[in-house]
Structure 1
Amino acid sequence: MTTKTFASDNYAGVHPEVMEALIRANQNHAGSYGADVYTQEAINKFKSFFGSNIEVFFVYNGTGANVLSLQSATQSFNSIICSDLAHINVDESTAPEKFLGCKLVTIPTKDGKIYADQIEARIQRIDDQHHPQAKVISISQSTEYATVYTIEELKAISSVAKKYNLYFHMDGSRISNAAVSLNANFAAFTRDVGVDVLSFGGTKNGMMFGEAIVFLNSKLAENFRFIRKQGMQLHSKMRFISAQFNALLDNDLWRKSASHANNMAKYLETALKGIPGVKLTQKVDANGIFAIMPEGTIEELQKEAHFYIWNERTSEVRLMCAFDTTKDDIDRFIEKLRQLTRV
């Protein structure tokens, strides 16, 4: 018997409660393109978390959520400041450049985060027609290293954005894991710190597909229904995205799933610390572990459970936990690692 993979929380299946919601939504006919009761119910749920003066739009995937939310805040002569590890820079191919026409100005990061002083140093040549004009600061919460920005760090970034009249975008593909890590409600580290537009993830926390774009600065949403259509993210049977969010946001399912994933990462962290030759490279804030593995173990470990090599040169790997990861999965993986490291 093999363990589940530790490759990505995208590898996990659909949470049973989300699947049940999909089945319930699959009864009879319902209005298309969001003209259905499920979509209105989901929008109301988002408003209960973020406040009534927001706008919410559902899209099919995370790339669409990030690219289109950024499109609402930029013109093609603008630049977007982000981490060099940001999904918009690394894992979304050239979609941002193609559809936005904007320059990505990246900041090297050691822990996944970018900081206010680093950001301010990248805001240059304001009003110079020969230079791209900075317009958006984009961060990931939690980050690509599974670290989590503190509320104070976010406030500092927001202050820079306000000082230079920039918009503040948050890629929240793992926002539920961040909320659990911070022990804070969603609004406390988004709306309340000055985030303008948020990509709110569902797929990595038990949904089959679907993300939400939450405009906390509602003026950015003025023409978004046209942008979403032009960007090929207007889902005709939108009830099947909305019904999943209804399940995820109801009865704290989002919190239960993210808490479990985070707790499994902590359990894995503790187990790895007891293995000679393993070196953790990042603080474990959310549901990911980054570690340098002992020489000669990676190939055999991947036969037990697939995971990604983050840095081949240093043998650093990424191990992700999901809502369905179990202690037994971790124990089997750790036992295999122990076998490989015994002298």
Structure 2
Amino acid sequence: MTKKMFASDNNSGIHPAIMEAIAQANDGHVPAYGSDLYTAAAIKKFKEHFGEESEVEFVFNGTGANVTGLKAMVRSHQAIICTDGAHINSDEGGAAEGFIGGKLLAVPSADGKLTVQGIERHLHNIGNQQRSQPKAVSISQCTELGTVYTIEEIKEITSYAHANGFYVHMDGARLSNAAAHLGCSLAEMTVDAGIDMLAFGGTKNGLMIGEAVVCFNKELASELKYIRKQGMQLGSKMRFLAAQFERLLTDGLWLDNARHANKMAGLLAEGLMKFEGISLTQPVESNAVFASMPKAQIEQLQEKHSFAVWNEAKNEIRLVTSFDTSMEDVESFLGDVRKSFS
């Protein structure tokens, strides 16, 4: 069996129940492009979690989900306010600006979170025809640093944004992990908190492939299917994307997977804190552990384990756990940390 990795939850396998759902969907011929019973069943599940008014479009990947949703909100002369570490700003190859044509206005953030004060700094050029005009705010839940917005923090952002005529987009690649941490429903963090558009993640939580664009704002929903097609995110054999989500959102599988990943990250963090010379650089609130350790230990550990060096100048690493991370995986890593200090 291939060794487990802590580099990313994208490295994990497919949950057995999801694999079974794909196999069950592989039965004969059905209409293409989402006109099938599997897609209808998956959309029904989304409405159970997010409300009857939500509109759902399935796409292939997280970048596709983000740019599809954002393009429905922003025209080419407009801008999106986000943090400097936001996935759309730092890890999507300029896809947002390239596909939408608008501009990203990045705000520095030490903990990955955007604040009202951060949004406010980009309001001084409203009405100036020589500057891109802010029209949307984008936040990530969980953030790229593993931190989690409280529901109150999200509401504060959405209230301020809406008061200034902005839409609010949420990159929810790890939304399930955030819900597991907060002990709340998926709706409480999103539609109930004022989010207009959500990119809901599946790949990082046990799916083989697939994300979903979930729209809560009726005035934005009508254009989504056309944007998805133009953005090359419309799958012809949609049933195989949809069947995964239908299963993920049934019987709490999404939450079980996320809770387990979060628990493994917590245990990993607890173990690391026992070593002198290692310190956590962010609170562990999801399935990511950010820690600083001596460079010699990092280099030695990388000979046996796969993980990201997040900030070389600070000797900061990132360890990400998954639904299939085991106690043995955690203990193996911590055992090698112990050896590196001996």
SS of structure 2 residue aligned to 1:81: strand
Instruction: Output the amino acid matched with 1:305.
Output: H
Give the match for residue 37 of structure 1.
37
| 1:160 Cα deviation after fit | 1.3
CA-CA distance at 1:303 after TM superposition? 2.2
Aligned partner of 1:237 in structure 2 is 237
Q: Secondary structure at the match of 2:213?
A: strand
Shift in Å at residue 294 of structure 1? 2.1
Do the aligned partners of 1:8 and 1:319 also contact (CA within 8 Å) in 2?
A: yes
Map 1:141-220 to 2 at 5 A: 141-220=141-220
**3-state DSSP of counterpart to 1:251:** coil
Displacement of 1:192 in angstroms is 1.0
Residues 1:24 and 2:39 aligned together = no
Distance 1:3 1:329, change over 3 A: farther
Query: Where do residues 278-289 of structure 1 align in structure 2 (5 Å cutoff)?
Result: 278-289=278-289
Question: Which aligned segments of 4 or more residues in structure 1 are displaced greater than 3 angstroms?
Answer: none
CA contact (8 A) 1:8 1:307 kept: yes
List alignment gaps of at least 5 residues for structure 2.
none
Tell me which residue corresponds to 1:326.
Answer: 326
Instruction: After TM superposition, list the pairs within 5 Å mapping 1:298-313 onto structure 2.
Output: 298-313=298-313
Q: Which residue of 2 aligns with 1:87?
A: 87
Once the two structures are superposed, residues 319-341 of structure 1 have per-residue CA deviations (whole angstroms, 9 ceiling, x without a partner) of: 00000001111111111110111
Residue type matched to 1:8 in 2?
Answer: S
Aligned partner of 1:61 in structure 2 is 61
- Which residue in 2 is equivalent to 1:111? 111
CA distance in 1, matches of 2:332, 2:183: 30
The amino acid of 1:285's aligned partner reads E
Cα distance, 1:295 vs structure 2: 3.1
Letter in 1 for 2:218: S
Indicate if the aligned counterparts of 1:309 and 1:316 stay in contact, CA closer than 8 A.
Answer: yes
Q: Per the alignment, do residues 279 and 58 of structure 1 end up closer, same or farther by CA in structure 2, a change over 3 Å counting?
A: same
Shift of residue 124, structure 1, vs aligned partner: 2.3
- Do 1:80 and 1:134's aligned partners in 2 also have CA atoms closer than 8 Å? yes
Using the TM superposition, give the Cα deviation of residue 275 of structure 1 relative to its aligned residue in structure 2, in angstroms: 1.1
Whole-Å separation in 2 of the counterparts to 1:127 and 1:108: 24
Q: Would you say the 8 A contact 1:5–1:306 is kept in 2? A: yes
How far has the Cα of 1:30 moved from its partner?
Answer: 1.1
What is residue 123 of structure 2 aligned with on the other side?
123
Q: Quick one: distance in 2 between partners of 1:34 and 1:285?
A: 36
CA distance in 1, matches of 2:298, 2:70: 38
Identical residues among aligned pairs (%): 50
User: Could you list the per-position Cα deviations for residues 108-154 of structure 1 after superposition, in whole angstroms to 9, with x for gaps in the alignment?
Assistant: 11111011122122222212211111000000000000100001111
The alignment partner of 1:250 has SS state of: coil
Residue 246 of structure 1 is matched in structure 2 by 246
- Measure, in 2, the Cα distance between the counterparts of 1:29 and 1:275: 57
What amino acid sits opposite 2:37 in the alignment? V
Distance 1:45 1:123 in 2: 39
In structure 2, what is the Cα distance between the partners aligned to 1:332 and 1:126? 54
| Structure 1 unaligned regions, length at least 5 | none
One-letter identity of the residue aligned with 2:230: Q
- The answer (yes or no) to whether the contact 1:276–1:341 under 8 Å persists in 2 is no
Q: Which amino acid aligns with 2:197?
A: V
When normalised by structure 1's length, the TM-score is 0.98
> Within 1, Cα distance between the matches of 2:295 and 2:221?
51
- Aligned equivalents of 2:232 and 2:191: distance in 1? 27
Count of aligned pairs: 342
Superimposed CA distance per residue, residues 31-51 of structure 1 (whole angstroms, 9 cap, x where no aligned partner): 100011000000000000111
Task: Tell me, in whole angstroms, the C-alpha distance in 2 between the residues paired with 1:310 and 1:82.
Answer: 20
Amino acid at match of 1:42: A
Q: Distance in 1 between matches of 2:2 and 2:293?
A: 20
Are 1:3 and 1:304, in contact at CA under 8 Å, matched by a contact in 2?
no
User: How many angstroms apart in 2 are the aligned matches of 1:182 and 1:121?
Assistant: 29
